Amino acid sequence: MSHKIMLSLFVCMIFILLSCTQGESDSKYSKANPDQLDNQNQSEKNLDEDQITAPPKKKEEPVPEAEKETTTKEDNIKVIFVELGSKGCVPCDMMQPIMEEIKEEYPSQVKVIFHDVKTKDGYVYAQQFKIRVIPTQVFLDSDGNEYFRHEGFFPKEEVLKVFSEQGVQLIGN
């Protein structure tokens, strides 16, 4: 009898642990707070190997410093939309059509950039933006300062809400 009780308690604990872990990663979106992100990322500095793996480094070739994504005020760009993901990642691939639509619909207001973080060149951006999971969307203002960040698939309607915070004139409004 006590064996059955212990077994059912163990199963319940596993269920609770799994539901707590999923709840943390399912958050819709969060406002970027640089101090909080730095502290959080300091403790989670090493990315999960299944998510992103570092390419082998050659000793004679230093890894280039990633350039900060910026634009000039003259371009009239209000938002720089940076997608950090990888080819073959299902939620990353689901973001591709959304990014293409945004490029076509808002070319004068939004600059769309994709970095494949599983490549040698893209991994630098994974480090620069201190991403934890893919896909991650980072939204920068016209000065190149991050004002919003989201992890996971992000529906177009939600992306547009983030754009409107920076004064992007949405189609149909």
Per-position pLDDT tens, the chain of length 173:
666 776 666 665 555 544 443 333 333 444 444 444 444 444 344 444 444 555 555 444 444 555 555 444 446 899 999 999 999 999 999 999 999 999 999 999 999 999 999 999 999 999 999 999 999 999 999 999 999 999 999 999 999 999 999 999 998 76
The H-or-E segment that residue 16 falls in is: helix 2-25
What are the sequence ranges of the domains in the chain?
Answer: 29-52+65-164
Cut 0.85: pTM above it: no
Q: CATH classification of 29-52+65-164 is 3.30.930.10, yes or no?
A: no
Q: How many CB atoms lie within 10 A of CB 48?
A: 10
Q: Are 83 and 99 in contact (CB under 8 A)?
A: yes
